[in-house]
Amino acid sequence: MNIPRVLRPSRSSPILGSLCLSLWLAPTPSPAVSLADVDPFIGTDAHGHVYPGATVPFGMVQFSPDTRDSGWDGSSGYHYSDDSILGFTMNHLTGTGCGDLGNILIMPCVGPVQLVPGNKPGQGYRARFAHQQEKASPGYYSVALPDEGVTVELTATARAGLARFTFPNSSQAHLIMDLQHGIANPVTDAGLTVENNHTASGFRRSNGWGGDKVYYFVMEFSQPFQSFGVAQADHDLPGAETQGRETKGHFDFQTRSDSPILVRVGLSTVSVEGARRNLHSEIPGWNFDKTARQAGSQWKKALGSIVIQTPDRHLARTCATALYHSLLAPTLLSDVDGQFRGPDGLVHQARGYNYYTEMSLWDIFRAESPLLTLIQPGRVNDFIRTMLDHDQIFGHGTLPVWPEGGKETWCMIGNHAIPIIADAYLKGIRGYDTETALQDMIRSTEQDREQLSEYRTLGYIPTGDHVQSVSKVLEYAYDDSCIARMAEAMGHHDLAEKFFKRSQNWTNVFDPSTGFMRGRNADGSWVTPFGRKEMESINFDEYTEANAWEYNFFVPQDVPGLIARLGGDQPFAARLDELFDTPDTIPNLTLIPDVTGVIGMYSQGNEPDHHVAYLYNAAGMPWKTQTRVRQIATSLYDDSPAGICGNDDCGQMSAWFLFSAMGFYPVDPVSEVYVLGSPLVNKVVLHPDPRFYHGRSFTMIARDNSPSHPYIQSATLNGRPLTHSWISQADIVSGGTLELVMGAQPNKQFGLTTQDRPPGMRNP
């Protein structure tokens, strides 16, 4: 699918103009270029579903504008194609395919008080804006609202937001609060209390994705308001307090253009007092510029873990923003005192770690989580402790599937907390009870939910109405391989053998007569008719957001076994070629909007395909991987607002691009192996967290690299010839230099021999 590209003026931020962030550019014969900045607008158009507002790495607060509050392309609350703003809210999802959050809306207006947003500017508090008067950089956002004569600036800490509203001279300036507003999450109750002439507090409860959730807030103003109102059904009520589903309020000021009004807001899932503690702990004063600089400093440190060199300014911006998007989620849920509202709806205490949510596990286990094991291992420990506590609190006998807003959504399939835990354990990230973790992983596979009982007893799942049988078998088998490898590393050899054997269940859905993974009936016969091109198959019950082509290669734990089943190296590579090059089209593509970035039958916009371009290496043809990686990365990503070819899915789409730009990718995340591709950049220096690793940097240098030189001619690792087409976790964290010589023609001898191919999982 060709995603439309939108050209727009470049942006710079006064807040981050002095920050180096993570990119630096090599001198070239072309005119000198400045340091490339992260551009949070990348991915806000088309179907990227990201937001441009202010946040800090993995923060609870995402202070960002809402331009819409419903629809698939409104999942983050913002879409670049819109030309009016509803207001500015405190929390947002990043890159998801479902909408939620958008809590605690505030909106400046001038003139008569407006309590309804209206369908267009002039009908309510909704305001016109233009992208030419909008700026965003890590930790900072600003926009001019010309009809109101107001400039809005936003920044954030982990649990609080700070806004600076510069009004014109006016005796009718207002800040509207709308607790009825939310992004695809209808309010069930809300409350607003005006505590004094500079403080308001309250809550918003809603029933959106994941079910009942509540967010408490405390809002303070830098100068007293002259009057106020609390409202229900868009009418002011007497008094200073109101509660109900249509709770709104307004705070009225006499303003001067040289005296901005600052508003600071603390957020909590626990209580108003929790929100107050969060606010006063993190924003004790009224210095907007200082708070924005501190947010920028957090980003500078986080983004500095990867340094990239390229003469292409557009590529530099795309890479920097991909890293930025990879550091947005999961998001913090616990307060400064460690309290949080868990999946059971009750308040719990995190001791010695931070509790997180917005875990898109089905997506991020593939590339984002492996990336974070290198540059954010301490946070990975917290993520895993969160998962273990979620399991204990929730009481369903399973690790989380997709926690959002602290609640379980049960979204997507598999048990992909399992590979994230196993990957961390095998890389030495073990700041949690490892035996408990292993037992929780095993217990998660022993439930009867989602056809697990049939999977265990039959070795496959009989196809049925919307069962997604084939996809579940393949993903459960991968999870089993992860349990096996962790159990073996921990010395539980009997458990390892059991799960190694069960990880081969993928073979039970492989049909040798067609060479495809197919659905089976309860009696073991193949489901007919067989549609290999149709989304979710002809009966909509075999595949998850995909067709037979897209899931045919999801056996990352045993790629050699898959190659053998498909007839050997040449037939396997031919099948991969057909995936990309077929002139056929997906006949019912519009059935699943998530399937975007389509090349033949391949879909980059949906995660089951993310490892596929790298599989040629396992057949001794790395040059074909090099061709495909360049094709995908250069045709489906760029630095425009439409520059992410599908939902960013909490950073997974961006992590794929970042790894691919660096020249290697974790095809099987739990293998500790990174398969070589074709680096887009000339040089990358990766700084693994020195608190967990050796404090040594890993450098990748691509000599003679350019768009016309995508092929690896030769390689050295730490000065020694490298003939195999992969590197290991140990190679990276031990420090050193990988040097690749690139050329215009493929070197078909590189990575050809069996011993030079990426190692597969051991046979059970």
Using DSSP's 3-state secondary structure scheme, residue 692 falls into coil
Q: What is the pLDDT of residue 24?
A: 35
Closest to 326 measured CA to CA, from 691, 30, 656: 656
Q: What is the pLDDT of residue 613?
A: 98
Q: Which residue has the higher pLDDT, 354 or 29?
A: 354
Q: What's the CATH code of the domain at 253?
A: 2.70.98.10
Spatial CB neighbours of 221, under 8 Å, sequence gap ≥ 6: 175, 198, 199, 251, 261, 262, 263
Closest to 466 measured CA to CA, from 453, 450, 477: 450
Using DSSP's 3-state secondary structure scheme, residue 354 falls into coil
For the chain, first and last CA: distance in Å? 40
Q: What is the pLDDT of residue 593?
A: 86
Q: Which residue has the higher pLDDT, 58 or 35?
A: 58
Beta-carbon count within 10 A of 149 CB: 17
CA distance 681 to 629: 13
Closest to 442 measured CA to CA, from 411, 389, 508, 397: 397
Closest to 358 measured CA to CA, from 392, 330, 397: 330
Spatial CB neighbours of 457, under 8 Å, sequence gap ≥ 6: none
> How big, in percent rounded to 5, are the helix, strand and coil portions of the chain?
30, 25, 45
Model confidence pLDDT, tens digit, residues 256-284: 999 999 999 999 999 999 999 999 999 99
Are the CB atoms for 246 and 234 separated by under 8 Å? yes
Give a yes or no: residue 298 inside a domain. Answer: yes
Angle between helical axes of 377-394 and 368-375 (0-180°, round to 10): 120
Tokens of 764: 């059970």
Number of structural domains in the chain: 1
pLDDT higher than threshold 80 for residue 513? yes
CA distance 315 to 293: 26
Are the CB atoms for 356 and 331 separated by under 8 Å? yes
Angle between helical axes of 622-636 and 569-581 (0-180°, round to 10): 10
Tokens of 500: 């190694």
Do β-strands 127-128 and 84-85 pair in parallel, antiparallel, or remain unpaired? antiparallel
pLDDT higher than threshold 50 for residue 303? yes
Give a yes or no: residue 499 inside a domain. Answer: no
Give a yes or no: residue 717 inside a domain. Answer: no
Tokens of 746: 């493929």
Using DSSP's 3-state secondary structure scheme, residue 163 falls into strand
CA distance 510 to 203: 52
Do β-strands 347-349 and 339-341 pair in parallel, antiparallel, or remain unpaired? antiparallel
Mean pLDDT of 545-562: 96
Using DSSP's 3-state secondary structure scheme, residue 305 falls into coil
Model confidence pLDDT, tens digit, residues 98-130: 999 999 999 999 999 999 999 999 999 999 999
Are the CB atoms for 543 and 537 separated by under 8 Å? yes
- Can you give the C-alpha Rg of the chain in angstroms? 26
Are the CB atoms for 103 and 89 separated by under 8 Å? yes
Angle, CA of 214, 219 and 220, to the nearest 5°: 165
Model confidence pLDDT, tens digit, residues 627-673: 999 999 999 999 999 999 999 999 999 999 999 999 999 999 999 99
Q: What is the pLDDT of residue 16?
A: 35
Average the pLDDT over each of 19-33, 158-172, 232-246, 432-446 and give the range with the smallest value.
19-33
Q: What is the pLDDT of residue 761?
A: 62
Outline where DSSP puts E strands in 544-632: 598-599, 602-603
Mean pLDDT of 164-168: 98
Q: What is the pLDDT of residue 5?
A: 28
Do β-strands 736-743 and 711-717 pair in parallel, antiparallel, or remain unpaired? antiparallel
Give a yes or no: residue 692 inside a domain. Answer: no
Q: What is the pLDDT of residue 540?
A: 65
Spatial CB neighbours of 80, under 8 Å, sequence gap ≥ 6: 6, 41, 44, 45, 131, 641, 642
pTM of the model: 0.95
CA distance 127 to 174: 13
Closest to 16 measured CA to CA, from 132, 154, 134, 139: 139
Give a yes or no: residue 185 inside a domain. Answer: yes
Q: What is the pLDDT of residue 35?
A: 36
Split at pLDDT 50, 70, 90, the class of 37 is confident
- Running DSSP on this structure, what letter comes out for residue 701? E
Q: What is the 3-state secondary structure (H, E, C) of 741-760?
A: EEECCCCCCCCCCHHHCCCC
**H-run or E-run covering 172:** strand 170-178
Closest to 422 measured CA to CA, from 496, 332, 474: 496
Tokens of 759: 């190692």
Mean pLDDT of the chain, nearest integer: 94
Give a yes or no: residue 105 inside a domain. Answer: yes
Using DSSP's 3-state secondary structure scheme, residue 624 falls into helix
Q: Which residue has the higher pLDDT, 344 or 694?
A: 344
pLDDT higher than threshold 50 for residue 566? yes
Mean pLDDT of 395-424: 97
pLDDT higher than threshold 60 for residue 33? no
Q: What is the pLDDT of residue 7?
A: 29
Mean pLDDT of 585-612: 92
Can you name the residues that pair with 268 across neighbouring β-strands?
A: 216
CA distance 239 to 262: 25
Tokens of 568: 């050997």
Whole domain around residue 294: which residue ranges? 64-302
In terms of Cβ atoms closer than 10 Å to its own Cβ (0-12, 13-18, 19+), residue 621 is buried
Q: How many CA atoms lie within 13 A of 714 on its CB side?
A: 4
Beta-carbon count within 10 A of 304 CB: 15
CA distance 570 to 323: 36
Using DSSP's 3-state secondary structure scheme, residue 390 falls into helix
pLDDT higher than threshold 80 for residue 179? yes
Give a yes or no: residue 399 inside a domain. Answer: no
Tell whether omega for the bond before 330 is within 30 degrees of 0, i.e. cis. Answer: yes
- Residue whose entry in the numeric block shows the structure tokens 């070629």: 577
pLDDT higher than threshold 80 for residue 141? yes
Give a yes or no: residue 386 inside a domain. Answer: no
CA distance 757 to 36: 36
Mean pLDDT of 75-95: 98
Model confidence pLDDT, tens digit, residues 410-461: 999 999 999 999 999 999 999 999 999 999 999 999 999 999 999 999 999 9
Spatial CB neighbours of 312, under 8 Å, sequence gap ≥ 6: none
Q: What is the pLDDT of residue 29?
A: 37
Do β-strands 170-178 and 248-255 pair in parallel, antiparallel, or remain unpaired? antiparallel
Return the exposure string of 734-745: e unless at least 16 CB atoms fall within 10 Å of the residue's CB, then b. Answer: ebbebbbbbbee
CA distance 297 to 294: 5
* Count of residues making up the chain: 764
Split at pLDDT 50, 70, 90, the class of 537 is low
CA distance 375 to 697: 11
Are the CB atoms for 507 and 497 separated by under 8 Å? no
Mean pLDDT of 554-567: 97
Are the CB atoms for 198 and 188 separated by under 8 Å? no
DSSP string, 21-51: TTB-----SSPP-PPPPP-TTTTSSTT----
